[in-house]
Amino acid sequence: MQAVLEFTKEQIDEVDGLIDRYGAHPSGLIPLLEKVQELLGYLPLSIQEYISEKTHISPNRIYGVVTFYSFFTMEARARHRVQLCLGTACYVKGADAMVEKIENDYQINFGESTEDGRFTFEKARCVGACGLAPVVIIDGEVFGKVTVDSLDGILEQFA
């Protein structure tokens, strides 16, 4: 099957185990997709089709879930996920300057990864930490009151 050639046999065996664990019932689809994404790093169409074949859940339903929830991704991510909050408070307190710095220093735009596979740069909607604005989230760790000058030191912590 061409759909799974991009993954190793061991990875597919683990996906099969997750399918067995979460079953083919639609109520288990989101946990199944979460676990598969944890395992593979992303959910490309090929693995969605594979899951559809194994669970008999329509590929359109799986695609709909993957594209509806922002925590699912169909693109391979770098080792570290850098999210910059662009809510009103963060924007007013300088998030736009940090966007420009990351774009210039790392040669990436939102949704892209650095060539060395170190960072994927994403925008975040308001994360509800307006008192800490501007906020940067790296691999789920929140950094508040970030400045353009402090940003390099924060990013250096993530090799």
Nearest to 90 by CA among 132, 49, 119, 53: 132
Report how far apart the first and last C-alpha atoms of the chain are (Å, whole number).
Answer: 36
130 is in an annotated binding site: yes
Residue 90 labelled as part of a binding site: yes
Note whether 58 and 28 are within 8 A (CB). Answer: no
Is 85 annotated in a binding site? The answer is yes
- How far apart CA 69 and CA 73 sit, in angstroms, is 9
Distance CA 36, CA 117 (A): 20
Q: What are phi and psi of 96, to 5 degrees?
A: -65, -35
Query: Is 126 annotated as a binding-site member?
Result: yes
Annotated binding-site positions? 85, 90, 126, 130
Annotated binding-site positions for [2Fe-2S] cluster? 85, 90, 126, 130
